[in-house]
Amino acid sequence: MAQGWRGKEAIEMATTTGVSKEEFKNAKLYKSVHGIDMEEFYTSGHRTCQGCESALVMRDFVKASGPRTVVTGATGCMYVANTSYMTTPWVVPWMHTQLGGGGASAVGMAAGLRALMRKGKIPDEKINVINFSGDLGGGDMGLGGISGALQTDYDMLIIIYDNESAANTDIQATNMTPWGAQTTFTPTGSKKRIMHDKWKKNVAPMLAIGHPNCKYVATACATFPPMDYMNKVKKALSIGGPTLIHTMDPCPKGWDYHPRYSGDLGQLAIKTGIFPLYEIIKGEVNYTYDARKTKRVPVREYLEKQGRFSHFIEDDFEFVQSRVDEMWNDWEIPGVAPIKGWLSVRR
Amino acid sequence: MSGSSRGTKSEAVSTAEMEKSVLRLEVNYRGIFQKSLAYRITNDLVYAAHSEGKTAFSNGRYSDDPQRNGVPCANFAFFSDALSEDDLEAVASASMDIDRANVVVVLDDTMVKGLEPWGHYGIRPINEKVIPGGTLLIVSRRKPEELIRHLEKKTFDYNIAILPGDQSFAGLWYYRDDATDVRTIAAVARVAPEIVGIHSVEEYVKKKYNDAAKVKSLQEAYDSVVVREVKQSEGIAWPHSKPKLPSWDSFDEGIVVKSVERGFTLGPRGQNRNPNFKRGTSKTQRPVIRFDTCIKCTLCWYDCPDECFDPTADGLYDVNYEYCTGCGRCAQVCPVDDCIVMVDDLNFEDNSSPWEMYKRDAEGYVKWLEEKKGKVRFMPSPVTGKGVRHTEIKAAVPFKQDGGN
């Protein structure tokens, strides 16, 4: 009964992944879950939902980056949940910025620190600058600012935490909401079953391809495979320059599932291949969990565990499966770049 | 919610005079999963009262939004047989919260341990707003006495009413209609017929749903409510300090919030945490841990989104129940059979460290724990509205003498 779906496999995975490469020899990557730092810099007492994955994304990035970190957060549920009513669970300094202001605030913070260090007003040391924006704040509204930030030469990490909706204001659709999902903007009805008929925006490759000077772009899930996300944060911070991580955050509130299953849904999103896991290091794609190698799990197993897809009929499951198959089978770089998937030269 | 009539029925009457006819109802529920349910209850009560010619309206507590899973939230409904809607709104609404209620409905019985909603500091008693002679109406499978032992002692007598039923986590997009809505309305009609009579409720439900099963559960609920008086001597001295919000002149320059001071040591309560908002009242179930069978895999600690697990020097993980929201992720990820199990929070008296108890007397701890756990295990279906699976285990995992060391 208490047997998690991960079971032994998770422990095995937890002790075998995270092998450090020569180029990340200074990143101090975690090699075992037992080696993870125990101290918290984002601690208990926050107003997040039960089972919130995004809270783990926050806790883990600051755990990986350590106490010499400053964080800026764009408006979103992870802002409101963590500084409302004059209390906070943050140990490290944190600053709120506007919904679309993630990129600009990180640039400003990094530039300010560099200037203060140059003038000798603060000691010259490595201080990690991290911005934390949601799928609406980062992937939609703040995209321009993030694009600008990725063209600078400041050291900073931008994390887009993607819970596939504007979850703070009670679940409105964003461009990162998956096809067919119910939100308050896109309820199902008797006349039209599928209100959200757009495919999810592919934001990480878009930013990687469009910003060739950005040395590190990755996708991640906070808890699966164990340590993978934290090591990606360490890699991003050690490689230098502006970097980006896009995380997949199951959201019990908006996806309408029992909070107990957040970890399972993150795992299923990766194993079904609906959310490909990779890192792009100086233009080279490295699959950190290749769903093809474990024989992709049918997407139905992922979709049917969420209330937001409870209106799906057989055709809908098949349609989503066909799009995911296409992504892995037909794209030039499977799961990442859809050049051959939909783009072609007119003859 | 629109009222039955606009304009003024009463002119130049003092607020105190108008107040006399106002009846207030509060519905306490768990954020998100009971949101649709709570709105149905207050809406239906308002419409049923309208059919009796009363003025009524309902609203949600402003500071509850944006709601979070499990966080205690409240809806209010106001009724009057003398005032116009404008007057009723003038007297009863336009405030963030209400300070008294004739009937306080509780949709999840674990809330009797206290409430810590979004917009407040500290843990408040569930019966805080009940007026003398008013009623605390709880949906529960427990006896009144089992719930009263968690309630704050009042300075007057009031009533407790139990509507037999489970916590209905009806869901958000997928709404499960298990008749908790009409059953609760019937129970309100039973304990406070001055708000709305059962006949009006029955007529309204017949018209709205046209469903014989709904009407039947309405009558069943009306008859099954157990009412008992709570004397002022009953209850406990409230163990938590009452909430106190900082006033505008106590803020720092700009909007500066004091961070948590850095601090970590191994062992129970070794990690510094946010002292002003703890969040532990969000839980309906708590994870209980068999330290003797633990394999020290770290996954409960690794997966906990509320950072509740404290690593100890012997490689185990203590849990701080003051901050635990009862999401169940640790129980789900734990690879050992029956090692972390979610158990009804009402079975427990306090939030003290389970690891310390285990260290004092390992075998005694396991025995105590297995009694609390019982033989039935609850497994919620992934989609919240689709119910809970109950399974019975044959026997508890035997105590492992040298485990956990």
Evaluate whether B54 touches B34 at the Cβ level (below 8 Å).
Answer: no
Q: Which domain holds residue B348?
A: 280-392
- Residue B253 included in any domain: no
Q: The tokens 């999840």 sit on which residue?
A: B108
Burial class (CB in 10 A: 0-12, 13-18, 19+), A86: middle
- The predicted pLDDT at position B14 comes to 76
Q: How far, in Å, CA of B234 to CA of B198, rounded?
A: 30
Evaluate whether B68 touches B31 at the Cβ level (below 8 Å).
Answer: yes
- The predicted pLDDT at position B3 comes to 43
Inform me whether the pLDDT recorded for A18 exceeds 70.
Answer: no
Domain of B346: which CATH number? 3.30.70.20
pLDDT in tens, A247-280: 999 999 999 999 999 999 999 999 999 999 999 9
More confident residue, A138 or B172: A138
CB–CB contact B307 A43 (8 Å): yes
Q: What residues in A contact B393, CB-CB < 8 Å?
A: 1
Indicate the residue among B208, B230, B252 that finishes a domain: B230
Inform me whether the pLDDT recorded for B321 exceeds 90.
Answer: yes
Q: Which of A85, A91, A257 sits opposite B382 (nearest CB)?
A: A257
- For residue B281, give the nearest of B323, B340, B244 by alpha carbon: B323
- DSSP three-state, residue B286: strand
- DSSP three-state, residue A141: helix
Burial class (CB in 10 A: 0-12, 13-18, 19+), A338: middle
Inform me whether the pLDDT recorded for B5 exceeds 60.
Answer: no
- For residue B332, give the nearest of A341, A16, A237, A261 by alpha carbon: A261
- Residue B238 included in any domain: no
Q: Which residues are registered as beta bridge partners of A244?
A: A158, A217
Is B234 touching A (CB cutoff 8 A)?
A: no
Residues B209 and B315 in one domain: no
More confident residue, B101 or A18: B101
Give the DSSP H or E segment for A83: helix A77-83
Among chain A residues, the shortest Cα distance to B270 is held by: A39
Strands A156-162 and A94-97: unpaired
- The predicted pLDDT at position B94 comes to 61
Alpha carbon of B261: minimum distance to chain A alpha carbons (Å): 6
ipTM value: 0.91
Q: How far, in Å, CA of B25 to CA of B92, rounded?
A: 11
Evaluate whether B204 touches B187 at the Cβ level (below 8 Å).
Answer: no
Indicate the residue among B230, B256, B291 that finishes a domain: B230
Residues B117 and B198 in one domain: yes
Evaluate whether B379 touches A1 at the Cβ level (below 8 Å).
Answer: yes
Among chain B residues, the shortest Cα distance to A167 is held by: B66
* Assigned token pair, A275: 């959310």
CB–CB contact B277 A1 (8 Å): no
Inform me whether the pLDDT recorded for B377 exceeds 60.
Answer: yes
- Residue B256 included in any domain: no
Among chain A residues, the shortest Cα distance to B278 is held by: A45
Q: How far, in Å, CA of B283 to CA of B221, rounded?
A: 26
- DSSP three-state, residue A52: coil
Q: How far, in Å, CA of A134 to CA of A54, rounded?
A: 9
Residues B186 and B322 in one domain: no
Indicate the residue among B205, B230, B255 that finishes a domain: B230
Residues B217 and B285 in one domain: no
Rounded to an integer, the average pLDDT of B363-387 is 91
DSSP label of A140: I
* Assigned token pair, A216: 């590190």
Strands B317-319 and B226-230: unpaired
Question: For all residues of chain A together, what is the average pLDDT?
Answer: 90
Instruction: Spell out the domain ranges in chain A.
Output: 4-298
Q: Where are the beta strands (DSSP E) in chain A?
A: 69-74, 94-97, 128-134, 156-162, 216-220, 242-248, 277-281, 284-289
Evaluate whether B237 touches B204 at the Cβ level (below 8 Å).
Answer: no
Categorize the per-residue pLDDT at B401 as very low, low, confident or very high, splitting at 50, 70 and 90: confident
CB–CB contact B331 A38 (8 Å): no
- Residue B194 included in any domain: yes
Residues B43 and B102 in one domain: yes
CB–CB contact B383 A90 (8 Å): no
Residues B199 and B287 in one domain: no
Residues B20 and B130 in one domain: yes
Domain of B109: which CATH number? 3.40.920.10
**Of the candidate ranges A6-10, B120-124, B128-132, B179-183, the one whose mean pLDDT is the lowest:** A6-10
Is A4-298 CATH 3.40.50.970? yes
Among chain A residues, the shortest Cα distance to B339 is held by: A2
CB–CB contact A262 B341 (8 Å): no
Categorize the per-residue pLDDT at A33 as very low, low, confident or very high, splitting at 50, 70 and 90: confident
Burial class (CB in 10 A: 0-12, 13-18, 19+), A118: exposed
The size of the A-B interface in CB pairs under 8 A is 239
Cis peptide before A225 (omega within 30 of 0): yes
As a whole-number percent, the residues of chain A with pLDDT over 70 amount to 93
